[in-house]
Structure 1
Amino acid sequence: MGVLHLLFLTLSLTTMSTKAHNITQILSPFPDYTTFNNLLTQTKLADEINSRRTITVLVVNNVAISDLATKNPLSAIKTALSLLVLLDYFDGAKLHQLSGGAATTTTLYQTTGRAEGNLGFVNITDLKGGKVGFGSAVPGSASDSAYKKEVKKIPYNISVLEVTEPIMATGILSSSASDMNITAGLEKAGCKTFAALITSTGVAKLFQVAADKGLTVFAPSDEAFRAPNAPDLSKLTNADVVSILQYHALASYSPIGTLKTAKGPIITMATNGAGKFDLTVTTAGDEVTLETGVDSSRIASTLIDSTPLCIFTVDNVLLPPELFGKAPLPAPAAEPVMSPSHAPVVSSPSKAQFLRRLRRRCSLRLRHLWNLRRKVRRRNRVRQRTARRTVKSAPAPRNSRRLSKPYSPRQRRLLSPFSCPKSFISHQFFFSHLEFVLFFS
C-alpha cells in the first residue's frame, strides 16, 4: 500500500506541474489587481506568462501601479512589468529559506535581448524582521519592493505574490523603441533586401502608420532571398510584390508569447477580398514556425519587441498560396494504342506441327515407362536370388517343432512376387498406350 500511495502522490504532483495556467483568470477574482491584469493583456505579457512553466509573477495593486500606468507609454510599461516576472518558482516558504539569505534570479526582460548588463536580473534579499525585499541587480539599486503575501500558487508551476511597488532601475523606462525607424533597424539586423523592397514599393509607409496601433513584421534575412527556393521578384507584377511584402506583416502587436498560444489561421496585412493570405503557427518547445501552405519558415530571432511594435527575423521568404499555389500533379501518360497494322502478329502452330510435338511427347513418355519397368524387374530378380541364398545358408533351428513359420518377415517380403510395383508399372504402361492409340485412331 505504501508503494501505491507513493506512486499516486507522484502522479498527482506530475499532473499538477503540467497543468496549464492562465494569469488573467487567476487575477480576475481580485479587484485590487484590475489595472495590473489589464496591463498584462494590453502588453501581451499574459500570453508569454501562460506559455511558460515554473514562473513567479509579482503583482502590484491598483494604487501602487497607477503612476507607472498613467505617466509612461505602453512600451515602457511592458519593460517595467517584465521585471516583475521571475523565471523561477518562489512561494512564501521558499522566500524565507534562501541560501545565504539572498538570491539573484532571471526575469522575463532578460529574454528580450535588450537588457544591458544586469538590467534583466532581480535580487531577492531576506531582510530582518521576516521581510523579503526585491530590487534590480544593477549595482547601486535598492530593494524597495517588499513582499506582502501569497495570492495564488500551483506548486512548481506558477506562483503569484503581491509586492508593495514595481521594481525600478536606472534607464528602465527610457528603453522604448516605438518611435524607431523600421527600415534602419532592418538594415542593421541584416535584412537589407527586405528593407529596400518595402522602401521602393511604399510598404514601409504603411508599416510606419500601422506601428502606432500595433505591428508585427517577419523580415526575411538577405540569405533567404538568395536561397534556391526564393521567388524571382523580377518576374512578378508590382501588385504581387506588394502582396508578398504585406504577407510578412500583421496589423497587430504579436510578440513571441502570443504566437506560441495562437490557434487557427492568422490574418496578415495582405488579406483582402481576393484571397485569405493567412498564416499558421506551429510550436515545438521554444521554436516557432510559420506555415504558409506552400513553404514554412522558422522565426530566427527577435529584432524589436517594444509595444506596440514587434519585428522578427525569419529564415525563408514566406510564399502565399494565393500566388505560389502548389502545382497540380501531372496526369498519368496515356498508354500508346497500337494500330492494327503495327500490332505484333502471333503465329499459331499448324495442325501438323501440333501432332508431331504430341507424338514425340507420347513416345518419350512410353519409353520412360518401359525403361522404368525393366529396371524394376531387374531389381526384383536380384532381390529374389539374394533371398534364396540367405535361406539356404541359414542354420536349422534347434527346436524345429516350435518354428511355425519357416521364413522371417524380411525373407518373405523379398520372396514375395508383389515386392515391387509391377502392377503399377503395367497399368501405367497400358493406359498410356491406350491413350496414345485412341488419340491417333
Structure 2
Amino acid sequence: MAPPQTFSLLAFTFSLLAISSTVGGYNITKILASYPDYSSFNSYLSQTKLAEEINTYPTITLLALNNDAMASFAGKRPLSVVKKALSLLTLLDYYDPESLHQISEGTTLSVTLYNNTAGNAPEYLGYVNITDLYGGQVAFGSAVSGSKLDSYFTKSIKQIPYDISVVEIDAPIIAPGILAASPANITVLLENAGCKTFAKMLAKSGVIKKYESVIKNGLTVFAPSDEAFKAKGVPDLTKLTRDEVVSLVEYHALAHYKPKGSLKSNKNKISTLATTGAGKFDLTTSTSGDDEVVLHTGIASSRLVHTVLDATPVVIFTVDNVLLPTELFGKSHSPAPAPVLSPAPALSPAGGAPPAAASPSEPPTDESPKRSHTDSPTGLANSKSANAAVAVRSPSLFTALVTIAAIAVSVSRCS
C-alpha cells in the first residue's frame, strides 16, 4: 500500500490541476463596475464595443480616465473619435504600478489596441511612449515623433497579475490626427482598399442606398478583394438575376455595428442585410489562432484580412473569399440525389398492372445543405483549437503538474 504522503502529494497535484484548468479570462465591464468613479469610461467602452475586444486578449493594461476627465474629453465628440482615443489607452502588455516605475532605461514603447482597430495606422501612431521620470512620476504620450508626454500616472485601480492591470491617468493621450472624424464614403474606401469589383456591384445594384440607410444604427461590411472574385471555384456571377445580385451584395453586410472583437466572441448565427422571412441568408463565425476571424456561409469560409475602417457605428473589413449564401448557390454545389432503385415488379396472379415505381427521394433543401467539395473544415478545426486554448492556458504548468503526479505514482510503487 502506498504511504500516506504519496496520497497527499497526489491530492495536492490534482487540486492544482483543477485550479489551473479553470483559470480563465476577465470581464473588463464587470471589473470597472465596482469603481463608480470610472462609470463614464466603462460606459464608453461598451458603447464603442471596445469592451468585447479587450476581453479577448490574454494580457492588457488599461489606462483609465475618471468621470471628470471623460466628460472633459468626450464632450460633443463623435463616438468614432472617442473609440480611437480609448483604443490608444489600451496597451497590449502588462504594466502594474511597480513595473511602470522600473522601466528599463527609463522609457519604452508599447503597442496599443489602436494598432489593431485602425487598419493601416501610420508608423507609431498605434504606440504609446511610457517614460519613468525623475521624482517618481510616470508620463505617457504618443510614440509619434515630436509628440508631448502630457498624460501622467495617478494611481492603481485593479490588477489581476499578468492578465490585466487597470491604472488611472489624468488625461487622454492625443496622437496626431486622432481627433479627426474618419471619412465614410463607402465606395471610395472600398476602391482604395482593392475592392473595386465589389464597389462597382454595390453601386450598380443600388444596394449602396440600403447600406447608407442603416449607417445611423450601425453597418458592418465584408468586402471581397478583387482577387477573391477571380479565385477558382467562384460561380459565374453574370448568370445571376438582378434580384439575386442584390441579395448577394446585401449578404456581405450587417445592419449593425460588429467590430472584430464582437465577431471573435460571437457564438450565434448572424443575420445579414439579405435576411428576410423567405430566406435566412445568415452567417456563422469561428476564430483561428489569437486574432483571426473566419466567416462561414454553409458552402465555404472566408477570412477577415484587413480593417478598412472602424469608426463607430461603421466598420468595413476586406475578406479573402466571396461570401456564397446557400440560398443562392447551395443547390448547385450539392451533389445530385442518387436515384432510388426499386426491385423488378412481380406480375400479379390476375395479370394486373405492376405496382407503381417508388418515387425518387427529395433533394436536400437550402435549410440543410449538403457539405460540398468546396467546404472548408476550418471551422471545425478552429473550434477545436480554440477550445483547447481555453481549456489549458498554461501548458507548461500543466506539464509540470502531470510530472509531479507521475513521480508520486512512481514513489508509491517503490514503497
TM-score bin (small chain) = 0.7 to 0.9
Which residue matches 2:68? 63
- 1:269 equivalent in alignment to 2:281: no
Verify: 1:123 aligned to 2:134, yes or no.
Answer: no
Q: Which has the higher helix share?
A: 1
CA distance in 2, matches of 1:277, 1:226: 23
Listed one character per residue, the Cα deviations across residues 382-401 of structure 1 (whole Å, up to 9, x for unaligned) are xxxxxxxxxxxxxxxxxxxx
Distance 1:8 1:306 in 2: 48
Q: CA deviation at 1:228?
A: 3.2
Cα distance 1:215–1:323, how it changes in 2: closer, same or farther (>3 A)? same
CA change 1:266–1:30 in 2 (3 A) is same
Q: Corresponding residue for 1:258?
A: 262
Task: Give the gaps of 5 or more residues in structure 1.
Answer: 341-441
How far 1:328 sits from its partner (Å)?
A: 5.7
CA distance in 2, matches of 1:181, 1:228: 31
1:181 corresponds, among 181, 185, 188, to 185
Distance 1:13 1:89 in 2: 22
How is 1:335-354 mapped onto 2 (pairs within 5 angstroms)? 337=344
1:171 and 2:168 correspond: no
CA distance in 1, matches of 2:70, 2:21: 35
Q: 1:103 to 1:228 in 2, by over 3 A?
A: closer
Q: 1:216-262: per-residue Cα shift (whole Å, max 9, x none)?
A: 10011122222232232332221111111101001111111110011
Equivalent position of 2:153 in the other structure: 147
Distance 2:127 2:239 in 1: 51
Alignment correspondent of 1:307: 312
Q: Deviations over 1:245-294 (max 9, x none)?
A: 10100111111111001111011111111122111001112221111112
Query: Residue by residue, what CA displacement relative to the aligned partner does 1:285-317 show, whole Å, maximum 9, x if unpaired?
Result: 222111111221111221111222111111111
Secondary structure (helix, strand or coil) at the match of 2:135 reads helix
Alignment of 1:409-428 (within 5 A): none
State the match for 1:427 in structure 2. none
What residue in structure 2 maps to residue 344 of structure 1? none
User: Paired residues, what number?
Assistant: 337
* Change in 2 beyond 3 A, CA 1:64/1:13: farther
Matched, 1:215 2:219: yes
Question: Which 10-residue stretch deviates more, 128-137 or 53-62?
Answer: 128-137
* TM-score normalised by length of structure 2: 0.75
Partner in structure 2 of residue 32 of structure 1 = 37
Give me the whole-angstrom Cα distance separating, in 2, the residues matched to 1:7 and 1:83: 42
1:64 to 1:9, Cα distance in 2 relative to 1, 3 A: farther
2:257 and 2:73 map into 1 onto residues whose CA distance is: 21
Which of 236, 240, 258 aligns to 1:236? It is 240
Identify the match of residue 92 of structure 1 among 84, 91, 97: 97
Q: Which residue number in structure 1 is paired with residue 412 of structure 2?
A: none
1:188-227 map, 5 Å: 188-227=192-231
**Where in structure 2 are there 5+ consecutive unaligned residues?**
348-415
Identity across matched positions, percent:
55
CA-CA distance at 1:10 after TM superposition: 7.9
Match of 1:51 among 48, 51, 56: 56
In 1, Cα distance between equivalents of 2:205 and 2:71 = 43
The CA distance in 2 between the partners of 1:67 and 1:113, in whole Å, is 27
Partners of 2:162 and 2:14 in 1: CA distance: 17
Distance 1:308 1:219 in 2: 17
Distance (Å, rounded) in 2 between the aligned partners of 1:263 and 1:339: 55
- Mark the CA change 1:243 to 1:50 in structure 2 (over 3 Å): closer, same or farther: same
Corresponding residue to 2:249 among 219, 237, 245? 245
How far does residue 202 in structure 1 lie from its aligned partner after superposition? 0.6
Residues 362-399 of structure 1 show CA distances to partners (whole Å, capped at 9, x for unaligned) of xxxxxxxxxxxxxxxxxxxxxxxxxxxxxxxxxxxxxx
SS of 1:129's partner is coil
Is 1:330 matched up with 2:337? Answer: yes
Return the alpha-carbon distance in structure 2 between the equivalents of residues 5 and 88 of structure 1.
35
SS of 1:144 mapped into structure 2: strand
- Is residue 119–residue 306 contact of structure 2 (8 Å, CA) maintained in 1? no
Q: Which amino acid aligns with 1:246?
A: E
Answer 1 or 2: higher relative contact order, Cα 8 Å, separation at least 6.
Answer: 2
The RMSD of aligned alpha carbons is 2.6
The answer for the alignment partner of 2:406 in structure 1 is none
Look up the SS of the partner of 1:130 in the other structure: coil
Q: Deviations over 1:1-48 (max 9, x none)?
A: 8998997898699558x5211111111121111111111111111111
CA displacement at 1:331 relative to structure 2: 2.0
Structure 1 residue 127: Cα displacement: 1.9
Corresponding position of 2:357? none
Distance in 1, matches of 2:63 and 2:54, equals 12
How far is the alpha carbon of 1:141 from its aligned partner?
A: 2.2
TM-aligned CA distance change 1:256 to 1:19, over 3 Å = same
